[in-house]
């Protein structure tokens, strides 16, 4: 009970700190929105009957927004908190590590909702994105967001032990995210990528999230354009759950309070 | 010898060692600190001060030995560890994080972690940050930042407060104010364990001082008697034949009497200098290089 209360208290504090940091707001929250404007405005070509690249891109961008706010944000900020002693100071207090994680999850949930709403809003208003009409599509959208953000969060915490220093974290993490975005069909149409790239991307959750989001936002007829000629939602769910469990296990096993 | 379970001691250390490979950072320490005492650990950089303190704080594991802090093993995890931490205040050697939170917000936030927090405004007043209460932590100077650390160390009304070089970066006025604060905490029954580089600080505050070098305690004594200071020779200087004369003596009064009769009356520029804590300390450290 105390843990949950402290976790929520930390979450509210983390949101306050996040929103006050100009860099974090611009690079984490607004960067996908900025990319949406650039790519959406440049590539207006039609890639299939009734489907423009802008629509394709927005669907992928909503998926990769989950990676930006969860994985990228945590894998960069946790090493900094470790280096600057924030975590060490916390460890000397009557607060459990779970409360710290609940605080992070609270922040990430807030950011994901905000970012998804922004991307959806601009996508619909400017780039011809159509909101799903059936309840089954909304259901798919919801479980993709929930599983995708949970996956992204635990993997971000697990990956936070990889950067050697807080200052260098961004240089390690950002390229990985950008390469994954290129390979997973965010910036290009996935089915047009080289096969080895597709197969590599299929190991990681982002490819499955983007495909899932396309099933929500693109017409049903587009499914035949996918590599498997199918949205593969069942397989997507399984792969995300596997990553979630693996990530959770790694996050708990490898988490450390300080660098020593 | 085993550690007693009686409650008169805040800290009990028995045969503590900490080694990294074949290098011993702490090479066998025995020490007890009574409840309500201010104990200062003095020593050069790398002597093992911070390692010792961080083991007592539960941040590092010991290699061998036995310790009890408020009757409890600091390495204990879980709920029991958290109730113990509720009674402990920690000011780390340096924290450089400076979140986008104001002094007021930071102290307020941390107060929620504790069962019996002190009053937030009172703590801000006590560490002298009233005028900076609305300032972001990242805009504070080094000394102000340190005072915020101290505020966060005492916000939980700790029974035992650890201070690792607390006044680094303080101006003399802030240091005096800080000493007053520690004396006030002591009068309220708080036990204080501090490490410091400043010998005047140890002398002004500590009931007892422990000198540590190469991971071992050289001596533990009240500042006035450390290193046989009370019986150490005093230096006597005076002006005679147009030159400053100097002798050392363990009986300075007798020497002055002799001088008085020889020089008949006022002794020009007479000074009797007792070795200060710094002289004693430097001698002890020098002997243990």
Residue A38 reports pLDDT greater than 90: no
Task: Identify which of A114-123, A187-196, A239-248 has the greatest average pLDDT.
Answer: A239-248
Tell me which H or E stretch contains A108.
helix A97-126
Residue B12 reports pLDDT greater than 80: yes
Quick check: is A259 in a domain?
A: no
Q: What is the pLDDT, as a whole number, of residue B209? A: 94
**Cα–Cα distance, B154 to B258 (Å, whole number):** 55
Q: What is the pLDDT, as a whole number, of residue B4? A: 46
Question: How do residues A90-115 score in pLDDT, each as one tens digit?
Answer: 889 999 888 998 899 899 989 989 99
> Mutation test of the interface with chain B: which of A20, A93, A103, choosing the one with the most B Cβ atoms within 10 A?
A93
And the tokens for B237?
A: 């200087």
Above 0.90 for ipTM, yes or no?
A: no
Q: Do A94 and B90 touch (CB under 8 A)?
A: no
Quick check: is A125 in a domain?
A: yes
Q: What is the pLDDT, as a whole number, of residue A259? A: 66
A88 to chain B: closest CA residue: B59
Looking at every residue in chain A, the average pLDDT score rounds to: 88
Residue A198 reports pLDDT greater than 50: yes
Quick check: is A232 in a domain?
A: yes
A15 to chain B: closest CA residue: B100
Nearest to B134 by CA among B166, B93, B102: B102
- Local structure of residue B8 (DSSP, 8 states): S
Q: Do B100 and A92 touch (CB under 8 A)?
A: no
Task: Give chain B positions within 8 Å (CB) of A92.
Answer: 57-59, 85, 88, 90, 92
Q: What is the mean pLDDT of residues B124-129?
A: 90
Is residue B91 within 8 A of residue B168, CB to CB? The reply is no
Q: Do A9 and B109 touch (CB under 8 A)?
A: yes
Quick check: is A260 in a domain?
A: no
**Cα–Cα distance, A206 to A183 (Å, whole number):** 9
From B86, B99, B105, residue closest to A94, measured CB to CB: B86
Higher pLDDT, A32 or B123: B123
Angle at B197 between CA A84 and CA B140, to 5 degrees: 40
State the DSSP string of chain A.
-HHHHHHHHHHHHHHHHHHH-HHHIIIIIIHHHHHHHHHHHH---EEETTEEHHHHHHHHHHHHHHIIIIIIHHHHHHHHHHHTTHHHHHHTSS--HHHHHHHHHHHHHHHHHHHHHHHHHHHHHHS------SHHHHHHHHHHHHHHHHHHHHHHHHHTTSSSSTTTHHHHHHHHHHHHHHHTTSSS-GGGS-HHHHHHHTTSHHHHHHHHHHHHHS-GGGGGGSTTSS--HHHHHHHHHHHHHHHHHHHHHH--SS--
User: What residue has token string 């593969």?
Assistant: A232
Question: How do residues B32-65 score in pLDDT, each as one tens digit?
Answer: 999 999 999 998 888 889 899 999 999 999 999 9
Please give the tally of structural domains in chain A: 1
Phi, psi dihedral angles at B61 (to 5 degrees):
-90, 150
Task: Give chain B positions within 8 Å (CB) of A89.
Answer: 90, 92, 95, 97, 152
CA gyration radius for chain A? 19
> Mutation test of the interface with chain B: which of A92, A97, A98, choosing the one with the most B Cβ atoms within 10 A?
A92
Nearest to B43 by CA among B224, B222, B164: B164
Which residues of B make CB contacts under 8 Å with A?
Answer: 57-60, 82-83, 85-86, 88, 90, 92, 94-101, 105, 109-110, 112-115, 152, 156
Q: Do A84 and B110 touch (CB under 8 A)?
A: no
Q: How far apart are the first and last CA of chain A?
A: 32
Burial of B165 (0-12, 13-18, 19+ CB in 10 A): buried
Q: What is the pLDDT, as a whole number, of residue A260? A: 59
From A13, A85, A92, residue closest to B97, measured CB to CB: A85
Nearest to A54 by CA among A62, A233, A192: A62
Q: Do B82 and A84 touch (CB under 8 A)?
A: no
* Dihedral angle of Cα A155, A156, A157, A160, to the nearest 10 degrees: 120
Residue A10 reports pLDDT greater than 80: yes
Looking at every residue in chain B, the average pLDDT score rounds to: 88
A81 to chain B: closest CA residue: B97
Domain boundaries, chain B: 231-287
Q: Do B97 and A258 touch (CB under 8 A)?
A: no
- Domain holding A182, by residue range, is 2-254
Q: What is the mean pLDDT of residues A71-79?
A: 91
From A81, A94, A258, residue closest to B82, measured CB to CB: A94
Residue B287 reports pLDDT greater than 80: no
CB atoms within 10 A of CB B15: 13
């Amino acid at each position: 009970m105390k843990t949950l209360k402290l976790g929520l208290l930390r979450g509210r504090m983390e949101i306050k700190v996040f929103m006050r940091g100009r860099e974090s707001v611009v690079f984490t929250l607004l960067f996908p929105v900025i990319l949406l404007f650039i790519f959406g405005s440049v590539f207006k070509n039609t890639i299939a009957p009734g489907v423009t690249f802008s629509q394709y891109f927005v669907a992928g961008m909503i998926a990769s927004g989950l990676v930006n706010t969860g994985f990228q944000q945590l894998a960069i900020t946790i090493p900094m908190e470790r280096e600057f002693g924030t975590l060490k100071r916390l460890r000397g207090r009557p607060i459990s590590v779970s409360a710290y994680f609940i605080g992070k999850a609270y922040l990430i949930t807030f950011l994901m909702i905000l970012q998804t709403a922004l991307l959806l809003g601009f996508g619909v208003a400017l780039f011809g994105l159509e909101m799903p009409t059936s309840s089954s599509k909304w259901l798919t959208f919801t479980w993709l967001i929930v599983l995708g953000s949970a996956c992204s969060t635990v993997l971000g915490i697990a990956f936070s032990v990889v950067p050697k220093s807080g200052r260098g974290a961004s240089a390690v993490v950002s390229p990985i995210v950008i390469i994954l975005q290129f390979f997973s069909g965010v910036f290009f149409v996935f089915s047009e990528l080289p096969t080895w790239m597709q197969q590599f991307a299929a190991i990681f959750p982002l490819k499955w999230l983007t495909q899932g989001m396309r099933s929500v936002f693109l017409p049903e007829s587009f499914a035949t354009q996918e590599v498997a000629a199918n949205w593969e939602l069942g397989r997507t769910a399984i792969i995300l759950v596997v990553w979630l469990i693996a990530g959770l296990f790694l996050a708990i096993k490898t988490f450390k309070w300080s660098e020593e | 010898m085993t550690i007693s379970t009686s409650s008169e001691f805040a800290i009990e250390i028995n045969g503590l060692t900490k080694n990294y490979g074949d290098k011993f950072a702490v090479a066998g320490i025995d020490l007890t600190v009574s409840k309500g005492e201010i104990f200062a650990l003095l020593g050069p950089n790398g002597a093992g001060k911070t390692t010792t303190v961080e083991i007592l704080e539960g941040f590092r594991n010991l290699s061998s030995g036995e310790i009890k802090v408020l009757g409890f093993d600091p390495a204990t995890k879980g709920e029991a560890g958290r109730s113990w931490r509720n009674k402990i205040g920690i000011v780390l050697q340096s924290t450089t994080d400076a979140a986008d939170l104001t002094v007021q917000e930071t102290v307020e936030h941390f107060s929620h972690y504790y069962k019996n927090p002190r009053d937030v405004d009172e703590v801000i007043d006590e560490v002298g940050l009233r005028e900076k209460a609305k300032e972001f932590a990242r805009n504070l100077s080094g000394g102000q930042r340190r005072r915020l650390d101290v505020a966060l160390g005492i916000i939980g009304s700790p029974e035992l407060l650890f201070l690792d070089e607390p006044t680094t970066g303080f101006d003399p006025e802030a240091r005096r104010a800080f000493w007053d604060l520690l004396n006030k905490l002591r009068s309220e029954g708080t036990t204080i364990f501090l490490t410091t580089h400043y010998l005047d600080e140890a002398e002004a505050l500590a009931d007892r001082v422990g000198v540590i070098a190469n991971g071992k305690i050289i001596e533990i004594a009240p500042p006035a008697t450390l290193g046989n200071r009370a019986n150490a020779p005093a230096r006597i200087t005076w002006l005679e034949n147009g030159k400053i004369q100097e002798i050392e003596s363990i009986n300075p009064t007798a020497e002055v009497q002799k001088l008085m009769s020889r020089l008949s009356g006022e002794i020009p520029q007479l000074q009797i200098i007792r070795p200060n804590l710094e002289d004693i300390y430097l001698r002890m450290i020098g002997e243990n290089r």
